[in-house]
């Protein structure tokens, strides 16, 4: 069920549990004692969260000592397919790494990432981190820019928290070794991007995300309390229910290299798994962005919000317009950062007519949703496949210094950006919606926290302001730390509990020829889904097209599932390709359902049937858990939900 809710809403959490905890010195694994009581969560319109109590380091050390005499019990129960940690982090972008580095001071941490650790949305972020670091700038100005860009759907308290705490989070990155560009005066060079009224973007040329990822991964590598598990695909969260409350105790994963199902049992789980870009055929997101975290959370009965607000970045590199075409199709579109327009880049159609001044007074510095729709309109009116972004009127040295990565990529394909305009086209870029979270990253599922693109905190509203994504990830990763520690101390899991969830069934039991057929069918189905989403749920929408998308996606999923099951696939079977397909179907349906529920045009959601803003509709879209019998395979967890003790 999708509905518009008054205010951004909140999850009020009051923990009522106390346990003893020990730490396994030899293995670094946590011991979980068998006492458990349940807490209560409800959604209301109060715009803030009741925070968890704080626990001192000395209290933590005492509780570790009290439980340590029974630590050998967990050692006897663990095996190569079951691992025990205090904290499990799903995702290795800025949010997951920053969080892990903090909670590792209080317990053992596992970071699970589906590819190489550096392969995250963070690594592809070019622009930078927005923060108030200039004396002429102010928190109020940053807040206003964020709220205006978000079409006044942002949660004001969340915006204030992020804009206020942002500068300190940036300083922490610098202290950890992240290197950002400085001006001739020795101060941080602050760039300006679309929607910002001041220069406030901290950056490292046009490879900011890569530099942040480098610094954080180096720190993680030096932390003995953090274990990093690469090429582990998170399948489903492990949950149980008691007195109407849902509790999360870890996650099942598939080790793609050994083809083994690995179960991670934890007291606290942080989802920082990124976005859903690959529900569309062209996206700036890396191949790993298949909506895994949002889909897993939906299946675990977490509340989902604002999924209709998919941000299409206005300027991805158009291979069609390059002098030398790439030899193979890119897995993800190459991003041309917002900072190019912030530095004076001008948009032209292919007749070299500047067009943004006809759409918005802010011209090229208008927010992304405005620029993307304007480009889309130009392409449709003129029957062209790309527009041109020109920065060649700026000094060559400045262009190469600020955008070395973009210059190098374009030059590889025969285009010199200091002399020629760049062919660009919109591409799916960022999900403003996601798992509904409060001011400390908490969800309605106990023990489950979210940070980064997978979360919907209320910061972005109906459209994300440029360079606010890394900022949000840093702020919420840090804010989730204390409540996570408190929950870890007070939560309790019987180690034998891990055996009660059914294990995923590996697809290796099928014949190679059948597996090949299934993988090929899944690839075709994925492309068909992406085509449906682009044609019917793209930049400009209508009720009729959205309903067509709903029917087509339903038919496509049914056909795919029938194909699998007719060839011996079981409902609990897992494979990377099929698990990703389940998640893509789940997220695509959430986007369509949310879009159909919003009867107005706001921010990134523009519909021809309701082309105007309506004040009465200025509410977030909320999707509550659905009764299990109503769900399709992609929306059901592989395991039955257990009853907590």
449 has a pLDDT exceeding 90: yes
pLDDT at residue 640, as a whole number: 78
Average pLDDT for 119-144: 82
CB atoms near residue 156 (< 10 Å): 16
CA 189 to chain CA centroid, Å, is 28
Write out pLDDT tens, residues 63-81: 333 333 233 344 445 678 9
Long-range contacts of 61-67 (CB under 8 A, 24+ apart): 63/20, 63/21, 63/489, 64/21, 64/22, 64/23, 66/20, 66/21, 66/22, 67/20, 67/21, 67/22, 67/23, 67/31, 67/33
Closest CA to 454 of 115, 119, 91, 199: 91
Q: Which two tokens stand for residue 114?
A: 């589906």
User: DSSP assignment of 549-608, as one string?
Assistant: HHHHHHHHHHHHHHHHHHTT--TTEE-HHHHHHHHHHHHHHHHHHHHHH--S-BTTBEET
Cα–Cα distance between 531 and 526 in angstroms, integer? Answer: 9
Task: Measure CA of the first residue to CA of the last residue in the chain; give whole Å.
Answer: 30
Least confident of 67-81, 271-285, 393-407: 67-81
**Which residues are within 8 A (CB) of 328 and not within 5 positions of it... i.e. 6 or more apart?**
none
pLDDT at residue 167, as a whole number: 96
Q: Which two tokens stand for residue 266?
A: 């934890």
CA atoms within 13 A on the CB side of 143: 14
Look at the block and give the residue holding tokens 């070794």.
177
Q: What percent of the chain has pLDDT over 70?
A: 85
Write out pLDDT tens, residues 487-546: 999 887 777 778 889 899 998 779 999 999 999 999 999 999 999 999 999 999 999 999
pLDDT at residue 89, as a whole number: 98
Look at the block and give the residue holding tokens 């029974």.
70
Contact 332, 613 (CB under 8 A): no
Q: How far is CA 491 from CA 499, 567, 597, in A?
A: 19, 43, 37
> In the beta sheet, which residues pair with residue 445?
246
21 has a pLDDT exceeding 90: no
Least confident of 24-28, 150-154, 362-366, 526-530: 24-28
Closest CA to 248 of 257, 230, 236: 236
Look at the block and give the residue holding tokens 């798994």.
273
Q: What is the mean pLDDT of the chain?
A: 86
Cα–Cα distance between 159 and 143 in angstroms, integer? Answer: 6
Closest CA to 35 of 603, 479, 582, 644: 644
Contact 41, 13 (CB under 8 A): yes
Dihedral sign computed on CA atoms, order 97, 100, 102, 105: negative
Confidence band of 331 (pLDDT split at 50, 70, 90):
confident
Phi, psi of 302 (to 5 degrees): -80, 150
Q: Which two tokens stand for residue 216?
A: 């954080």
Closest CA to 346 of 364, 368, 370, 365: 364
Give the single-character DSSP code of 114: S
Residue 105: helix, strand or coil by DSSP? coil
- E-strand spans in 189-345? 190-191, 201-202, 226-229, 232-242, 245-255, 260-271, 304-305, 310-317
User: 3-state SS of the chain: helix, strand, coil percent to 5?
Assistant: 40, 20, 40
94 has a pLDDT exceeding 80: yes
Cα–Cα distance between 178 and 183 in angstroms, integer? Answer: 16
466 has a pLDDT exceeding 70: yes
504 against 642, higher pLDDT = 504
Confidence band of 116 (pLDDT split at 50, 70, 90):
confident
Average pLDDT for 579-591: 97
Q: Which two tokens stand for residue 601?
A: 């045009």
Cα–Cα distance between 559 and 525 in angstroms, integer? Answer: 9
Cα–Cα distance between 312 and 318 in angstroms, integer? Answer: 14
Domains along the chain with CATH numbers: 314-427 (3.90.700.10), 505-631 (1.20.58.100)
Would strands 310-317 and 40-44 be described as parallel, antiparallel, or unpaired? unpaired
Confidence band of 4 (pLDDT split at 50, 70, 90):
low
The answer to whether the predicted template modeling score (pTM) of the entire model surpasses 0.85 is yes
386 has a pLDDT exceeding 90: yes
pLDDT at residue 79, as a whole number: 72
Instruction: Enumerate the active-site residues.
Output: 368
Average pLDDT for 192-208: 87
pLDDT at residue 512, as a whole number: 92
Max intra-chain CA distance, the chain: 77
- Residue 307 burial class via C-beta count within 10 angstroms: exposed 0-12, middle 13-18, buried 19 and up: buried
Residue 294: helix, strand or coil by DSSP? helix
201 has a pLDDT exceeding 60: yes
Confidence band of 122 (pLDDT split at 50, 70, 90):
low
11 has a pLDDT exceeding 70: no
Look at the block and give the residue holding tokens 């209301």.
44
pLDDT at residue 115, as a whole number: 77
CA 364 to chain CA centroid, Å, is 27
Cα–Cα distance between 426 and 318 in angstroms, integer? Answer: 9
Confidence band of 126 (pLDDT split at 50, 70, 90):
low
């Amino acid at each position: 069920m999708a509905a518009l809710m008054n205010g951004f809403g909140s999850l009020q959490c009051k923990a009522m549990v106390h346990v003893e905890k020990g730490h396994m010195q030899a293995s670094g694994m946590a011991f979980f004692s068998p006492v458990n009581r349940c807490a209560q969560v409800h959604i209301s319109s109060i715009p803030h969260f009741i925070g968890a109590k704080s626990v001192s380091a000395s209290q933590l050390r005492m509780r570790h000592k009290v439980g340590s005499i029974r630590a050998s019990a967990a050692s006897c129960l663990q095996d190569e397919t079951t691992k025990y940690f205090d904290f499990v982090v799903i995702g290795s972008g800025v949010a997951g790494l920053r969080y892990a580095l903090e909670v590792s001071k209080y317990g053992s941490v596992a970071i699970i990432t589906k590819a190489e650790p550096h392969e995250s949305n963070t690594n592809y972020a070019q622009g930078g981190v927005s923060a108030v670091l200039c004396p002429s700038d102010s928190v109020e100005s940053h807040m206003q820019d964020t709220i205006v860009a978000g079409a006044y759907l942002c949660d004001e308290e969340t915006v204030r928290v992020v804009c206020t705490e942002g500068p300190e989070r940036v300083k922490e990155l610098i202290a950890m070794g992240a290197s950002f560009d400085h001006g001739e005066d020795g101060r941080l060079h602050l760039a300006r991007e679309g929607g910002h009224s001041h220069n406030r973007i901290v950056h490292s040329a046009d490879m900011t995300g890569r530099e942040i990822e480098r610094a954080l991964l180096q720190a993680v590598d030096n932390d003995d309390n953090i274990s990093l598990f690469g090429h582990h695909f998170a399948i489903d969260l492990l949950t149980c229910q008691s007195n109407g409350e849902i509790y999360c105790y870890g996650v099942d994963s598939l080790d793609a290299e050994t083809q083994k199902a690995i179960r991670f049992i934890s007291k606290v789980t942080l989802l920082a798994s990124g976005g859903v870009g690959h529900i569309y055929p062209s996206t700036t997101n890396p191949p790993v962005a298949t909506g895994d975290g949002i889909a897993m959370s939906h299946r675990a009965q977490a509340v989902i919000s604002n999924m209709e607000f998919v941000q299409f970045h206005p300027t991805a590199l158009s291979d069609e317009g390059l002098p030398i075409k790439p030899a193979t199709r890119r897995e993800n579109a190459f991003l041309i950062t917002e900072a190019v327009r912030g530095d004076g880049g001008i948009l032209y159609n292919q007749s070299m007519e500047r067009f943004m001044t006809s759409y918005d007074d802010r011209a090229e510095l208008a927010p992304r949703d405005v620029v993307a729709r304007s480009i889309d309109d130009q392409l449709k009116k003129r029957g062209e496949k790309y527009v041109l972004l020109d920065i060649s009127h700026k000094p060559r040295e400045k262009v190469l210094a600020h955008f070395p990565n973009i210059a190098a990529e374009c030059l590889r394909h025969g285009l010199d950006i200091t002399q020629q305009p760049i062919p660009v086209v919109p591409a799916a870029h960022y999900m403003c919606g996601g798992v509904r979270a409060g001011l400390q990253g908490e969800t309605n599922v106990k023990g489950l926290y979210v940070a980064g693109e997978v979360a919907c905190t209320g910061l972005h509203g109906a459209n994300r302001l440029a360079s606010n994504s890394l900022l949000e990830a840093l702020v919420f990763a840090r804010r989730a730390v204390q409540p996570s520690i408190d929950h870890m101390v007070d939560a309790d899991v019987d180690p034998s509990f891990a055996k009660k969830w059914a294990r995923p069934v590996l697809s290796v039991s099928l014949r190679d020829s059948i597996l090949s057929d299934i993988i090929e069918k899944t690839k075709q189905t994925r492309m068909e889904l992406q085509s449906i989403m682009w044609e019917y749920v793209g930049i400009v929408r209508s009720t009729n097209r959205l309903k067509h998308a709903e029917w087509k996606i339903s038919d496509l999923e049914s056909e795919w599932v029938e194909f699998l099951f007719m060839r011996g696939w079981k409902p609990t079977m897992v494979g990377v390709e099929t698990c990703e397909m389940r998640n893509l179907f789940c997220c695509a349906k959430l986007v369509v359902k949310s879009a159909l529920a919003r009867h107005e045009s706001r921010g990134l959601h523009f519909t021809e049937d309701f082309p105007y803003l309506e004040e009465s509709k200025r509410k977030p879209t909320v999707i509550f858990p659905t009764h299990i019998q109503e769900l399709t395979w992609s929306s059901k967890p592989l395991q039955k939900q257990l009853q907590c003790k």
